[in-house]
Copies of this chain bind each other. A is one copy, B any other.
């Protein structure tokens, strides 16, 4: 991908196939990894000031010495030092302190200190000895706040008075070192598992160096009402840790240790909780503490930016909820939701393989770029660009860019920048009309367009009309949706990206059975369905050498899919064959009448329906890394034919097995 400054004024060409291979996790390519890291760097700008933002080092992958610059680069103000990260780190605490200071990071918390309170006196002695060792480390580290989790030890006694007495003692010792203690109720604490209970003990202990730490996971996973937070005096809320999580019916400890995610990536109302904490008067940092198996493996810099994006979006949500009470919050510029697809751009070594297919699909080549090897193909409102100008072209066509219609391209970019989306160098057409783009998490370029509107220069003006024989329409009217591969370590990042940057709404996450494994799929869509993007990802890491599947596709809306299908059939062997067994089952499931069943079977059409309407669709064979889907929505069908995905996926493997 050429993305240096020299590209301004030119069409930038993307090597989508590299990104494809990289981010599927199937074919590792260190160069592409570096490329993406660079691409992401472009985006990091200082967000405007708002709440102070912090992140626990356990949320990021790699050694402590790499986590600190990752957090700083993403714009965090501080970190929580997770003790295990320090223990396994060669630099001494003094050196970590110096590195953090050099990076402009405050050490907001040292954590966790476990199994302290409400124990018999002999154990108390050992625990205090342990604490003194930690105070010494904290002094060297320059950390003045210690997190104490409610005990899970069999030694602890259900005695709030004793817990308060011992925590008061601990706070007193801490205060001698200039350290304060934040007591937190673990959701699986032996006797103290609720934040209100922790607060009662802290209140009872009544020591100025003792307060509570609130953690959204521990509170919301238990279904506790966070409104009670407002009853805690602001000066007694020493710290606020934030994590989201999907709703999972499972052991809460395992849920917490493996499946936490950043706010907005799960199902919890984290914004609601933060609202209560701010109403209580808390003005300390918003700090992310996320234990997640996948983040542990992911690139730390990328995770840190994802984390910061989640906090910026969270600040916006809280600000909206609180309204005038939201003093101190600085929300980003409002989202500009795209209203349709302007184009889909395919990078391809040559146009030969695609021009026949596009012609069969009823597209006409209507424009050519005067200086760049880019062709414009059109049919009604559906526009495809073929770009043969990529010097490192992939082995076959791949989806490299999408044009999104937006009422305010400049506003779209401003929104994207404020949410750390990687902004790409501008394309400028002959009329010097700026065309702004950002990079999606899978490397696809998203262009903000305003096509053929009097109030804005149009990207189509870059193209010169091409004389060609008229092609009869095949009934295709628009791009219905695009389906994009997501790097599987970054699936949650992707849905947050589309939700926060573009203001699209994520659907439920689905599992689709491919013959070689389960896939996850999640669609994001605009409020009126005019923009729909299906995000797909392999469910877990693929086996080395396992069969690959073509992930990217462009779904074209047809007003008469039967006519489109007949025309495609007449043009040759272009369509993906569907097994006859599918139709036997379809007849068992739906009684559509003999003639309709015969048509579906004859044309290889797939069928689905929901409470709102019907869905007919078919697929072309794959060319390179991309294929086309033709869809017709009847009534207000809202899905994507997921029920048929296993059959489609199996058909795509057939022949390559």
Contacts and interface: CB of A to CB of B under 8 A. Distances in A.
Interface stretch (A127-135, A150-158, A318-326, A463-471): A127-135
A546 B300 CA distance: 11
A444 to B, nearest CB: 18
B580 A33 contact: no
Nearest to A67: B515
A99 interface: no
Contacts of A650: 63, 88-89
Contacts of A62: 515-516, 657
Contacts of A84: 513, 646
A151 to B, nearest CB: 16
B546 A585 contact: no
Contacts of A582: 87-88
A251 interface: yes
A233 interface: no
Interface string A523-557: 00000000000000001111111100000000000
A515 B542 CA distance: 22
Of the four ranges (under 10, 10 to 19, 20 to 34, 35 or more), the interface on chain A belongs to 35 or more
A584 B137 contact: yes
A93 interface: yes
Contacts of A28: 544-545
A297 B25 CA distance: 14
Contact of A579 (B89, B294, B580): B89
Given A250-B251, A517-B293, A588-B134, A541 B89 contact: no
A439 to B, nearest CB: 18
How many copies are assembled? Answer: 2
Interface string A486-518: 001100000000000000000000000101111
Contacts of A596: none
A22 B515 CA distance: 22
B517 A61 contact: yes
B133 A544 contact: no
A545 B488 CA distance: 14
A513 B515 CA distance: 32
B580 A92 contact: yes
Nearest to A650: B88
Contacts of A649: 88
B515 A579 contact: no
Contacts of A515: 61-63, 88
A6 interface: no
Given A30-B545, A293-B540, 5 more contacts: A62-B515, A62-B657, A249-B250, A541-B541, A541-B542
A371 interface: no
Interface in A52-88: 61-63, 65-66, 83-84, 86-88
27 contacts: A25-B544, A27-B544, A29-B544, A29-B545, A33-B544, A61-B516, A62-B657, A63-B650, A63-B654, A84-B513, A87-B581, A88-B515, A88-B579, A88-B647, A88-B650, A89-B579, A89-B650, A129-B591, A133-B587, A136-B584, A137-B581, A137-B584, A249-B251, A293-B518, A299-B543, A540-B540, A541-B541
Q: Which one of A29, A581, A654 has the highest number of Cβ atoms from chain B below 10 Å of its Cβ?
A: A581
A541 B25 contact: yes
Nearest to A92: B580
A568 to B, nearest CB: 20
B517 A297 contact: yes
A656 to B, nearest CB: 10
A589 B25 contact: no
A587 B577 CA distance: 68
Nearest to A34: B545
B249 A248 contact: no
Nearest to A547: B62
A254 interface: yes
Interface in A126-173: 126, 129-130, 133-134, 136-137
Contacts of A33: 544-545
A384 to B, nearest CB: 29
A613 interface: no
Contacts of A651: 88, 90
Contact of A296 (B86, B517, B589): B517
A234 interface: no
A3 interface: no
Q: Which one of A66, A134, A545, A582 has the highest number of Cβ atoms from chain B below 10 Å of its Cβ?
A: A545
Given A88-B579, A89-B579, A515-B88, A298 B543 contact: yes
A585 B298 contact: no
